[in-house]
Each structure stands twice: as structure tokens, then as C-alpha cells.
């Protein structure tokens, strides 16, 4: 095999691998799950949205891909144990976990109850903690693996959705800590931090137009673009990368605020 063919396989081939994607019933998780299945992995789509997840898994199977749906509430440790056991019983291994499930609550601190705060932290941060805690030891036993945590570019600044923002900052810290803990066991852990992707999480929000207006590339991202990054981090081509954040936001985090100043003062 020449160098390019090796690179193509290392970047895109997951044949013989098994993967779990949480929040895969719709939105970015659905696209990520399909991307991994098309790369050759046996993929378990997990979500609290049972009908949506089952329908997507059935559609992928209809195309000859390996896809199964399993109900999973990421906040439930026992549910995680059942899911990981089911995957390893079927394939004898677990290679990839995408902690994608997430919720948002745009209330400001002054309007948010402690229960509302805890709910967001529980799904977005504790859910990923439980996933790593359950999956990483199994990955370590079966030759190593890759965990991708879907954080957000809001994990680089303050924001108008404080619980969500705190959970996504927390996910970056969890990513680095888990990467240190499991590095020698051969389990890599990285974070993907998307900017605006239009999904059911934000469709119809008044924030969309101003966000796009502030984005240097002047558009929202596509779920496929995020899924390509997830595939890269899942596959062997990223084999020496762990504990990193990957921002994918059309330049927003890189300097949207200064770009706006430059535009308002006629420099750009």
C-alpha cells in the first residue's frame, strides 16, 4: 500500500470496529452515527428518543450498514452498563464512544432554578462522565479506543446560557483529565467544539441570525462537517492525538469580536 492509500485507510476506515454514539436519534448524533457506519464500523445508536433512533438504525441496516438502536438515558449508570455489555457481547470489543447527547436551557442565572441547573449538568457533563467510566475500561481491555466528547465553542467564553456553557467548559476539563488517566491504557479522549449548527436544539431561535452575522465565515456549520471531524478523531489517523479541543466554528472563537470591531471601524 502506498503512503496515500495508507493515509486514506487510516483517516476513514473503521472496518471491524464497534462504536456507540449517544443522542443519535436525531441532529448531529444521527449524522455522526451514519458517518461511522459508512466508514465500516458496527454502530450502536443510543438515545432517549426510541422511535427516531430505531427508524434511523433500520434505514442504515436497509443500506447494508451495521447499525442497532439501544435505549439509553446517559444520566443512568445502570443503563450505561447494560448498553456497553450488549455491545461487547455482540462484537467482543468497543473501539469508539461519541458522547454527543446534550440539552440546552437558555435561562439566565437569575431565572434558573437549582433543579434546572442540575438537569443540564447531569445530561451534558455527568452523562459523559458515566460514559467514559463505563466504556474506557472495556476499551482498554480490548486493545484501546477513542472517545470523542461533543462540547461547544461556548466552552471558550461566557455566554447567555450559563448552565449549558458551564457544562461544556466542564466537558473540556473532563476530556483532558480522562485523556491523562487512560493514555497508557491506549484510550484517547478528545473534545469537538462546534459553533452554530442548525438542529432541533436551536431551530427557530432568534439567536441564529445574529450568530451567523458574527461568524467570520458568515454561515452556520453543517452536521456533516462535525461528523467528519468525529470520524477523524475516531479513526487511527489521529492515533497520536489525545486530550485536545477541536473548535469547528467558521472562525467565531478565533476572533469574531475583534473582527466586528475592525468592521465597525472600517478596517475590514
Ligand X SMILES: NC(=O)c1ccc[n+]([C@@H]2O[C@H](COP(=O)([O-])OP(=O)(O)OC[C@H]3O[C@@H](n4cnc5c(N)ncnc54)[C@H](O)[C@@H]3O)[C@@H](O)[C@H]2O)c1
Residue 250 lies near ligand X (rule: CB under 6 A): no
Residue 100 lies near ligand X (rule: CB under 6 A): yes
Residue 131 lies near ligand X (rule: CB under 6 A): no
CB of 244 to ligand X, least distance (A): 16
DSSP the chain: --HHHHHHHHHH--TT-EEEEETTTSHHHHHHHHHHHHTT-EEEEEES-HHHHHHHHHHHHHTT--EEEEE--TT-HHHHHHHHHHHHHHHS---EEEE---------GGG--HHHHHHHHIIIIIHHHHHHHHHHHHHHHTT-EEEEEE--GGGGS--S-HHHHHHHHHHHHHHHHHHHHHTTTTEEEEEEEE--B-STTTTT-TTHHHHHHHSTTSSPBPHHHHHHHHHHHHSGGGTT--S-EEEESTTHHHHHHHHHHHHHTT--
Residue 72 lies near ligand X (rule: CB under 6 A): yes
Residue 73 lies near ligand X (rule: CB under 6 A): yes
Residue 201 lies near ligand X (rule: CB under 6 A): yes
The stretch near ligand X (CB under 6 A) out of 33-41, 70-78, 131-139, 232-240 is: 70-78
Residue 25 lies near ligand X (rule: CB under 6 A): yes
- Number of chain positions touching ligand X (CB under 6 A): 28
Answer for which of 57, 150, 231, 256 binds ligand X (CB under 6 A) is: 150
Residue 211 lies near ligand X (rule: CB under 6 A): no
Residue 103 lies near ligand X (rule: CB under 6 A): yes
Answer for which of 17, 18, 27, 98 binds ligand X (CB under 6 A) is: 27
CB of 216 to ligand X, least distance (A): 16
Binding residues for ligand X, per CB under 6 A?
22-23, 25-29, 47-49, 72-75, 100-103, 123, 150, 152, 194, 196-197, 199-202
Amino acid at each position: 500500500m502506498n503512503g496515500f492509500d495508507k493515509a486514506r485507510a487510516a483517516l476513514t476506515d473503521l472496518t471491524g470496529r464497534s462504536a456507540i454514539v449517544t443522542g443519535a436519534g436525531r441532529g448531529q448524533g444521527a449524522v455522526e452515527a451514519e458517518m461511522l457506519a459508512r466508514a465500516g464500523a458496527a454502530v450502536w445508536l443510543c438515545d432517549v428518543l426510541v422511535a427516531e433512533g430505531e427508524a434511523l438504525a433500520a434505514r442504515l441496516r436497509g443500506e447494508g450498514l451495521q447499525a442497532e438502536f439501544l435505549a439509553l438515558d446517559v444520566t443512568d449508570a445502570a443503563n450505561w452498563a447494560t448498553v456497553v455489555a450488549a455491545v461487547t457481547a455482540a462484537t467482543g470489543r468497543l473501539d469508539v464512544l461519541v458522547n454527543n447527547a446534550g440539552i440546552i436551557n437558555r435561562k439566565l442565572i437569575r431565572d434558573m432554578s437549582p433543579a434546572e441547573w442540575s438537569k443540564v449538568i447531569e445530561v451534558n457533563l455527568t452523562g459523559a462522565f458515566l460514559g467514559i467510566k463505563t466504556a474506557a475500561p472495556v476499551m482498554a481491555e480490548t486493545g484501546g479506543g477513542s472517545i470523542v466528547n461533543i462540547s461547544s465553542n461556548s466552552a471558550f467564553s461566557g455566554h447567555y446560557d450559563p448552565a449549558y456553557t458551564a457544562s461544556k467548559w466542564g466537558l473540556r476539563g473532563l476530556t483532558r483529565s480522562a485523556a491523562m488517566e487512560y493514555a497508557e491504557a491506549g484510550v484517547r479522549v478528545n473534545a469537538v467544539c462546534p459553533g452554530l449548527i442548525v438542529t432541533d436544539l436551536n431551530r427557530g431561535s432568534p439567536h441564529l441570525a445574529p450568530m451567523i452575522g458574527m461568524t467570520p465565515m458568515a454561515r452556520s456549520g453543517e452536521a456533516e462537517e462535525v461528523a467528519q471531524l468525529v470520524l477523524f478523531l475516531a479513526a487511527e489517523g489521529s492515533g497520536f492525538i489525545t486530550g485536545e479541543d477541536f473548535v469547528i466554528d467558521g472562525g467565531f472563537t478565533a476572533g469574531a469580536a475583534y473582527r466586528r470591531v475592525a468592521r465597525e471601524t472600517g478596517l475590514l
